[in-house]
Structure 1
């Protein structure tokens, strides 16, 4: 037992590896909206077609999560993370070379998004939950989640500066190379779910765990709420630069608004990670979705100045991905850590189905109406619905393991 403990990496090193990986993969993906207009100008494909590629990216990022989680639960997180990081780098690097909708879907929607899904929160949070003491898992998931926000905060201004300095093509390729910095994390976070099974018990099989989850009403309600989160997050990440443009503001406000979302999401994520150990997680989730609905309604009625845009981005940042720690916490509470990568990956898949619709419909609605207003109205309705459907969730643990 003593040897086992000594062989485990230090807590700060685990958090640095997981949060750093999420920072680079998420930061790269969340700044792609800055390149939407240059890609459109270069290819002439139209906003709707390019938004489809971004939407497939949202969808494929989610579709890879449960499969990547299942593989990580069985053969180890390290190999999955290694493959994921390499795919993100490759997809980002070749994106400027794609001149068709199919090519953009392949680079952005399959390679980059699929790789980011493999090196995404399902695998990263399951790895940290397995490697850290249970009492610290809530705050740890908040810190890992904040890593993604920090990546957005840092990468958005870097991407904007690179676009001005070397052009959008070289900027994307440089960002693809930067992602490779997180390769060493694959070694630190290696290991599989067998290490998470309590003494004298074995982990429930993947098929049995999924079957149990799909028969659990609280799990299904949680997934439905996360669908709404994906719709909201993907719409903002993809189309906030377009929203800034329709408000008549200079382009630099788009980069700073995305950076503001990332900065305040760090606060929201860490704060939520601290809060999940003190209040009911379902109540925290209801509060987040209700806050989003109110914030969007106020933004629609407010004058569209630079200050208003930054304040709106700050509020959205506080709620942007602060849903992740309580959602991951509820999955772990329901079913334990052994199959968490798989089951949290399934919930993330519903998140990205919502993300597909948010990214794609944003472009289609704007093409049809010349405005994003109808997407904002839909976002308010969905946020209110998400706030309500979390209330019936029961936080009691479900079946976790079977006797060996």
Structure 2
């Protein structure tokens, strides 16, 4: 039967101690390797300070590192230096990893090119947004998890590795369900030692550590620090970020992708509306045109019936003649709006494409 998590004291501080399951405690007692993920933000900063303090207290003798996944130009200038200062402060090695195909901005741009190509070749029914979303956070999975995990597996050869993150339940409804620790394969354990801390306790821990938090909190006025412009940011944070000169090249590049794709950065919220004064006149005009295209595209795609939409394993059947005619009409309209060179714009070619896809699926 699963044993309950325990809470270890804060070692003389008024902020709480770290939470750990007996499984994590057993691994630490066995000198398991510990990799503490750091981003430069407050939660990973506090998690690192509290975890290292706890490891020292229990006499942990296994290897430890801090690990940072650099997301490229979307990160604040101070984020990597903040991680470096934290590593020096804690007397630990900092491992920096990066996605080989580029940072998050490059991933968003590549995703748009892929979406365009998939639409032109009728490999999807409707256009797919280029941006990550709260429900589809490939920014975390692809640029952090899928980069960090292989590195710690390569670096540490032991039977178990503990991957520490600063996730807190108070951050969001989704994270409210976070457990103290979990494992998918029995070797990599995800440990969330400050999962029950409040934001105030996080800052109290940082202030007590003697190392100030990322300047974006108290100098720039940000409530959270991750990417300069984050899919999870509120309006105030987006405006605070746009006021910083260092963020403006990224801002203009992101707005250009909004205009090129006709997809707003945060669903219904256009990043280009946050600080239009720092855009050139042609960029503002392009954004206005993108909004017009977005409305027309959405109206066209809403005519596609639910049984025709993309689902797992698509296509599941041939379309009727009427459905093929409707899809051809919508594809011609959307392709014209966005300047796509799409194929499969009439009934016969759409039937042929579906037959080809069904044949490929059957062969696979």
TM-score range, shorter chain: under 0.3
For the pair shown, the structure with the greater C-alpha radius of gyration is 2
Q: TM-score, normalised by structure 1?
A: 0.21
Q: Which has the higher contact order (CA 8 A, sep 6+)?
A: 1
